[in-house]
Structure 1
Amino acid sequence: MSITDLLREDLRDFAGYRSARTESVAGDVWLNANESPWPNAGESAGVLRRYPDPQPDALRARLAELYGCAPAQLLAGRGSDEAIDLLVRALCMPGQGAVVVTPPTFGMYAVSARLHGVQVVEAPLRDTPGGLECDFHAVAGAALESDARLVFLCSPGNPGGTALPLERVAALAERLRGRALVVVDEAYQEYADSPSAVALLAAHANIAVLRTLSKAHALAGARIGSVIADPGLIAALRRCQAPYPLAAPCVHAALQALGAAEITATRANVAVVVAERARLAARLAGLPGVRRVYPSSANFLLVRFDDAQSAFERLLAAGIVVRDMRAAPGLGDALRITIGLPEQNDRVVEAIAEAAVTA
């Protein structure tokens, strides 16, 4: 069975929209896209008057090299959010079917599904001494029972920070072969001391991996994300994608950020974050009023408090904004704290210590 058999039946021969930039033609006078013949008055280079390449070869090649895949296995888009939406739209009929999620987790999986009228089936994470862990048996059962076409896993998890064992992901994909696509969201993979699920693609065509330049590569404002999967699925997703998903300045910024020197600097910054993650976790765990600090393989810590409201208010009073997780399932006393610069992390500790004193 081909992975493209999981596509919506009505989209299997869907050609999509062919924009002016998808045509392989050459010339020195370009009159095929109804663009202005003059540059914008505020942009001297004149680059922005032209529509951008939908999938720039240089960017795809550089991203493929970075993530350890072939360019034909990668589709670039507007952050991981677009990839999530494309997968739901391509595999799930509107108003039918199901996707499986593992709450507490990244909310866009459920948002994209619900906007498409697709049922969201939950297989909650288990709160264990080792952190928030995926119940793979429950995930498989939920997917098979609901006939879900998509299973969304987050590794390292958001907000828990737990990385998933690749052998368990592979076993899940094998169990769901021909039934569902297992999507592994690796937005925080750079901070993890574990291999990427991209290594599983050769043996499991029903695995897709999401990556982003928003976190470790500090390009959240450029909105560059990737989905890595079987080339047949990538080609189908490209047909479902908007004509010009990547703005030219954002592509330029991404290519600049992916140079050899810049990658070396990024890795050095990641090493600092990992060291600070351990230091901040140890300091927070020793504070009164801190109930638990979860182990994390990401660039944040999930922290439970005796009085989360007091801690949240004290942090805000100190000018520190963290993520309030109390509305998430099972996290009614928790905040998520991104790892900042060392001096910023020190301010977090000081503010929480003051909250404990005044509580």
Structure 2
Amino acid sequence: MSGPATNKDDALLRLVREDLRGFGGYSSARSHPLSGEIWLNANESPWANPADADSRCRRYPEPQPPALREALARLYGVREEQLLVGRGSDEAIDLLVRALCVPKRDAIVTTPPVFGMYAVSARLQDAPLREVPLVDGPAGFGVDLEAVTLAAEQGNARLVFLCSPSNPTGTDVPLAGIAALAQRLAGRALVVVDEAYGEFSDQPSATSLMGEHRNIAVLRTLSKAHALAAARIGTLIADPALIRVLRACQAPYPVPTPCADLAIAGLSDEALARTAERVATVRSERARLATALADMPGVRRVYPSSGNYLLVRFDDAQAAFDGLLAAGVVVRDQRAAPQLGDALRITIGSPEQNDRVLATLAVQEAAA
């Protein structure tokens, strides 16, 4: 599973917890390539479950399904040895925090308001949390990268999480800023760029920076643009030396066979062409919805977004939320998040779904 270490590997692996740098992990029945006709090495049932018509679930799955890794490497334009496939991005976030942060000592840096799983994973690991709030400016919410750098340097951070496009605010983190941050933190921290919504953005992936900056890692998922949220297929893209460590820390069988098969089919050329068409529709609808919402009297502000959602401030967010819910439309209430006491996050739906959002809010405003 692991090859010989190099001096560059040693420099990167100094970011890993000292007690895990040589950790071999659990050696499962599928850890080593074996061949045979009768498989009696994993205490599996010799018969398929009566509900498993094609007998796909009797055997334990491959820990990292080769065909899926090949398809994901092709999709993201990286090498297979740079990939770790797991249960959505959440598993990769948790693995990174557990593998790199010694409890009570090594911190993580986040930029709220932002995806909450970074802070949850830190809490579960008892890793100190350093928060650098986003700055609400004329162009939307932006990351103060100088403040992030100082927080990481002064706060003993091992991990810096940047969400780009950021959830829920929708803004990209500029690639030049990510590169400069990684340069400043080389040998001190790993910069993790969460690109869960990257397919909806014009900005190239931060994987383009990894050749020059080995302390950059990228999170991707099939849950959003690829419409496979229930399959729970997430990918961490990082330096192969770090991937080897994280594989040793990962549970033995993270990707169920039916989920892997569905993902492989969902990454066929035909499926990818349909996905590209749908992404284009979402981007067009995002612009239409943003313009229409901005013209409504009860809307204070619609933030620019590179994701498949819009962050919207309302004069009366509670009334907007309740009105949409009464019309059968469920949106995300963001009012408990820092700086967002009057905001809702609205996912971009189909044209017909977006029409209902607009019609509901227009009727509600007329009645107010």
TM-score tier, shorter chain, comes to: over 0.9
Aligned equivalent of 2:292: 283
1:248 to 239, 242, 257: 257
1:197 to 198, 202, 206: 206
Structure 1 distance, partners of 2:48, 2:327, is 47
The SS at the match of 1:171 is helix
Q: Let me know the Cα RMSD of the aligned residues.
A: 0.7
Shift of 1:60: 0.5
Aligned equivalent of 1:104: 113
* Counterpart mapping for 1:1-359 below 5 A: 2-359=11-368
Shift of 1:96: 2.6
Q: Is the 8 A contact 1:173 1:207 kept in 2?
A: yes
The SS at the match of 2:292 is helix
Matching residue's letter, 2:244: A
Post-superposition CA distance 1:218-253 (Å, at most 9, x none): 000000000000000001000000000000000000
Q: Is the 8 A contact 2:105 2:156 kept in 1?
A: no
Matching residue's letter, 1:277: R
The SS at the match of 1:47 is coil
Structure 2 distance, partners of 1:62, 1:259, is 8
Q: Is the 8 A contact 1:131 1:295 kept in 2?
A: yes
TM-score (norm 2): 0.97
| Greater alpha carbon shift after TM alignment, 344-353 vs 219-228 | 344-353
Q: Is the 8 A contact 2:56 2:258 kept in 1?
A: no
Structure 2 distance, partners of 1:334, 1:183, is 27
Runs of 5+ unmatched residues, structure 1: none
TM-score (norm 1): 0.99
Structure 2 distance, partners of 1:40, 1:179, is 50
Shift of 1:322: 0.1
Post-superposition CA distance 1:34-93 (Å, at most 9, x none): 101111111122221100000011101110110011000000000000000000000001
Runs of 5+ unmatched residues, structure 2: 1-7
Structure 1 distance, partners of 2:154, 2:272, is 44
Shift of 1:23: 1.2
Structure 2 distance, partners of 1:63, 1:44, is 28
